[in-house]
Amino acid sequence: MDDIRSSSISRRELLAMIGRTTSAAVMYQAMSSLGYAAESDFQGPVSLEGAPKGTSVLILGAGLAGMTAALELRKAGYKVQVLEYRERAGGRSWSLRGGDTYTELGGFTQHCDFEKGLYINPGPWRIPYHHRGLLHYCKLLGVKLEAFVEMNANAYLHNSKAFGGKPQRFRHVMSDFNGYVSELLAKATDQNKLDQAVAKDERDILLEALRSWGALDDKYAYTPATASAMRGYDKDPGGGPGGAPTPSTPISRADILNSGLWHHLSFPLTYEYAQTLFQPVGGMDMIAQGFAREVASLIQFNAKVTEIAQSDSGVTVTYVDARHGGEARRAKADWCVCTVPLSILSQIRNNFSSTLQAAINAVPYAPAIKAGLQFKRRFWEEDDAIYGGISFTDLPIGQISYPSTDYQKPGKGVILGAYMFGVSAVEFTSLSPSERLQRVLEYGAQLHPQMSREFDNGISVAWHRVPWTLGCYGMWKEDTRQQYYKDLCAIDGHTVLAGEHCSYVNAWQEGAILSSLSAIERLHQRVVAGR
């Protein structure tokens, strides 16, 4: 192994490492307490009975939060109008297909040349099974769903400094890590060397479980003869006289541990990313299209909000044509539900309270980039037998995700060639779209050497250059959430905010929907109480 620490580690250090990598549930609870993740508390549609006749609500933004509010408020009898900056509904719930054109800040215009039926989701791309609010509206709106493959045992784990830079199959790393850990624990159990005493009947059960879980032999050893049942064979079983399989050789324990690839093993087991995950058939924007079928008549598209002014009796919003500018227009309503991303809202003139303005200004937005690549053939299936799932790498591209549909379809295919955050995303954002794709292909070729010769065309979205959001999602920290979150969600005069940033499920579509339902329910209670 190149440039990888090869010193041995103690049993206690190894067991501590095991605890860190397998305690996803504990980590999840810690994240929930800090507001980084939380399960959905959706209990069903809100009840907005008794709305005063003729009460008007102006909604800013036709993303999922805005359209959820529009759908439910209109149903309750409110007079609803929606102002949307873009020419389409959906916000970050967005898909790019062949024929689409996208211009980012700086003037770079990209034309998507994907073949018909192929697409990339620059924003949200998967739906956990426990996001019940989003699933409710998918069902209500007739949005068909299909399985999204998160974990594929035949995908790659890659550390550019380990194994000579050669990617390793997920199943090999997983099987070998589990095997060596099971071997260690089995021998410690068999020799009564655990720190805490284990009763004999418990010890026998534990040993049996470890032998099965870790593919150990009768001496509790992880060997090629037993390992192949988990990690696969060098030569798979076949027919005829030469059909006997050839066992595969496990990666050494030191190499597995020092590679750091075990960091990725718990990812698809965490609550947020555990199967079953879903995706809409045909692209994530099928959800936006479903909402738009219901509320498009309420939406004024290409409306760039320039000022939000509250008074004792209502809200007046000034806006201009987002494409052509021209004379300012005004929309008035009794109440306002504002779903504009905080990165944009912080730049819009308003007379909000200083408390709300401080909360708006306190939340930065995450840098992120996605790159969609179309290839002449589905080489990941034909050459590497990878059908769906995600490969992880320490390279700046972060992840490569393979399509969960159209398996073995002849012709071209599209993969998510990069999904990056943090410093890498900031660096790549500074590049032109063509330079980004070139770098993505160079890095991707370290996992799939076919990439360069099979590449057809591609498109990238750097979220800090997206004019209508200036970032991927609101980034809460423990201290900022403690100080500002309640102020951000509170009704301020005649305005209430909604969006993923007003939720504990931020960065997810579920958060946008839940925040919207909470906002309109509280707004409705205020309206009814003020009759």
Residue with tokens 């305690």: 23
Alpha carbon separation from 177 to 18, 200, 203, 266, 370 (Å, rounded): 10, 26, 22, 12, 31
Of the pLDDT bands very low, low, confident and very high (cuts 50, 70, 90), residue 152 is very high
Helix, strand, coil shares, percent, the chain, to 5: 35, 20, 40
Which pLDDT does position 40 carry in this prediction? 75
Which pLDDT does position 31 carry in this prediction? 39
- The secondary structure of 11-33 as a DSSP string is HHHHHHHHHHHH-HHHHHHHHHH
Q: What are 410-427's pLDDT values in tens digits?
A: 999 999 999 999 999 999
Q: What are 346-356's pLDDT values in tens digits?
A: 999 999 999 99
Is the pLDDT assigned to residue 1 strictly greater than 70? no
Which pLDDT does position 351 carry in this prediction? 98
pLDDT (average), residues 53-81: 97
pLDDT (average), residues 286-297: 98
In the chain, the amino acid numbered 223 is: T
Instruction: State the distance between the two ends of the chain, measured CA to CA, in whole angstroms.
Output: 73
Of the pLDDT bands very low, low, confident and very high (cuts 50, 70, 90), residue 188 is confident
82/57 Cα distance (integer angstroms): 9
Q: Across all residues in the chain, what is the average pLDDT?
A: 91
pLDDT (average), residues 238-261: 95
Of the pLDDT bands very low, low, confident and very high (cuts 50, 70, 90), residue 173 is very high
Is the pLDDT assigned to residue 198 strictly greater than 80? no
Which pLDDT does position 175 carry in this prediction? 97
Q: CB count, 10 Å around CB of 495?
A: 24
Which pLDDT does position 197 carry in this prediction? 57
- Rounded to 5 degrees, what are φ and ψ at 36? -85, -20
Identify which of 510, 414, 447, 401 has the alpha carbon closest to the alpha carbon of residue 151.
Answer: 401
Of the pLDDT bands very low, low, confident and very high (cuts 50, 70, 90), residue 24 is very low
**pLDDT greater at residue 39 or residue 396:** 396
The pTM (predicted TM-score) of the whole model is 0.90
Of the pLDDT bands very low, low, confident and very high (cuts 50, 70, 90), residue 230 is very high
Look up residue 297 and give its two tokens: 């008549």
Q: Which domains does the chain have, with CATH numbers?
A: 11-33+163-259 (1.20.1440.240), 38-86+301-363+478-529 (3.50.50.60), 99-154+275-282+366-465 (3.90.660.10)
Using DSSP bridges, classify how beta strands 277-280 and 127-128 pair: parallel, antiparallel or unpaired.
antiparallel
Look up residue 154 and give its two tokens: 């035949």
Is the pLDDT assigned to residue 32 strictly greater than 90? no
pLDDT (average), residues 446-450: 98
pLDDT (average), residues 321-343: 97
Residue with tokens 């300012």: 328
Is the pLDDT assigned to residue 19 strictly greater than 50? no
Using DSSP bridges, classify how beta strands 315-321 and 325-333 pair: parallel, antiparallel or unpaired.
antiparallel
pLDDT (average), residues 398-418: 97
In the chain, the amino acid numbered 1 is: M
Map residue 110 onto helix, strand or coil.
strand
Is the pLDDT assigned to residue 10 strictly greater than 90? no
Q: How many residues does the chain have?
A: 531
Which pLDDT does position 427 carry in this prediction? 96
Q: CB count, 10 Å around CB of 100?
A: 16
Is the pLDDT assigned to residue 328 strictly greater than 50? yes
Which pLDDT does position 195 carry in this prediction? 52
pLDDT (average), residues 86-104: 97
Name residues whose C-beta falls within 8 Å of residue 425's C-beta, 6 or more positions apart in sequence: 367, 368, 369, 462, 463, 464
Is the pLDDT assigned to residue 174 strictly greater than 50? yes
CB 303 within 8 Å of CB 84: yes
Is the pLDDT assigned to residue 8 strictly greater than 60? no
Which pLDDT does position 193 carry in this prediction? 64
Query: What 8-state DSSP symbol labels residue 500?
Result: G
Type and span of the H or E element at 79: strand 79-83
Alpha carbon separation from 182 to 178, 194, 200, 263 (Å, rounded): 6, 13, 18, 17
119/372 Cα distance (integer angstroms): 8
Of the pLDDT bands very low, low, confident and very high (cuts 50, 70, 90), residue 376 is very high
Is the pLDDT assigned to residue 67 strictly greater than 90? yes
Is the pLDDT assigned to residue 241 strictly greater than 70? yes
Which pLDDT does position 438 carry in this prediction? 98
pLDDT (average), residues 375-389: 98
Query: Using alpha carbons only, how large is the chain's radius of gyration in Å?
Result: 26
Is the pLDDT assigned to residue 96 strictly greater than 90? yes
Identify which of 443, 420, 445 has the alpha carbon closest to the alpha carbon of residue 430.
Answer: 420
